[in-house]
Amino acid sequence: MKGIDISNHNGNINFNQVKTAGVEAVYIKATEGTTFKDSYLDTNYSNAHYVGLKTGFYHFLVGTSEPETQANNFYNAIKDKTSDLIPMLDVETNFDGLMDYILRFIAKFKELSNMQIGIYTYTSFMDNLDNRIADYPLWEANYNNDPWRLNSNFFTNRVGHQYSETGSLSGINTECDMNEFNDGILNKTTGYVVTNYLPNGYQGDNSFNGVDADYVLQYFKGVRCYFRGNEKGVWIETQNLSMSKCLELKETLGSWFYDIK
């Protein structure tokens, strides 16, 4: 999907022209820190949503206020809006305890919203992060002006490439951030959980060669499950569930969790 990300710096936008230019997805700056709300948030959302563009929001993380209060600020600014796209945490400023802030922000935002969240950052900023957030969707800024020509890194799920910050687009009078996204940015309302290969042995002690179904199923607490397998082993796929239930199971399953489809 062709996409843009915008804030008050872009001024008034004609979203009909933006849509005609082929844009499908719009990320809108919502908040920064604990108290800042972008002055164009409500206008940009209303106008983009009205013309049928997929809309999502991002928060700019700072090191001058507690991450929990920042997560509250972000959630309160977007909770009454439709998030067609997964919310994004914009991480591009280094400070002491950065990774701790990221993890605490994510934990609080999930507690408030039950929504998945992704990480936006620059290729050149990656060295300040580590693989504790490797499984979160990555929206990567790298201005090689060639969508998706990016080197691999510790993130496992790249969903977006911001390839220019000087784009020109009908309907926007300023230079504009230009992006390509895949459907990993879509904020799904339902899905099903897929596990990793399940361990052999009674309760993991290898007392026999096989999966103890009763032991495994107690973690799913009544959710209908389907066992599948191949030459490498056996895994589980659940029935279709609400996204909040999928995310709850992800936390419960821990290392057994593989993906939400």
Domains and CATH numbers, the chain: 2-185 (3.20.20.80), 190-260 (3.30.70)
pLDDT tens track for 139-176: 999 999 888 999 999 999 999 999 999 999 999 999 99
**Which has the minimum average pLDDT: 161-170, 191-200, 205-214?**
205-214
Q: CA 84, CA 2: separation in Å to the nearest integer?
A: 15
Q: Global pTM?
A: 0.77
Whole-number percent of the chain with pLDDT over 70: 97
* Alpha carbon separation from 7 to 81, 145, 151, 223, 256 (Å, rounded): 16, 21, 28, 42, 39
Instruction: Average the pLDDT over 109-137 and give the result.
Output: 94
Residue 85 CB partners (closer than 8 Å, separation 6+): 25, 27, 54, 55, 56, 57, 181, 185, 186, 187
pLDDT tens track for 45-98: 999 999 999 999 999 999 999 999 999 999 999 999 999 999 999 999 999 999
**pLDDT beyond 60 at 116:** yes
Q: CA 202, CA 205: separation in Å to the nearest integer?
A: 6
Six-digit token string for 113:
């919203």
Annotated active-site residue in 84, 92, 165, 248: 92
Q: CA 102, CA 52: separation in Å to the nearest integer?
A: 32
pLDDT score at 204: 55
Annotated active-site residue in 5, 90, 140, 212: 5
DSSP letters spanning 145-197: SSTT-----S-S-EEEEEEEEEE--TT-SS-EEEEEE-GGGB--SEE-EEE-P
Catalytic (active site) residue 175: no
Catalytic (active site) residue 146: no
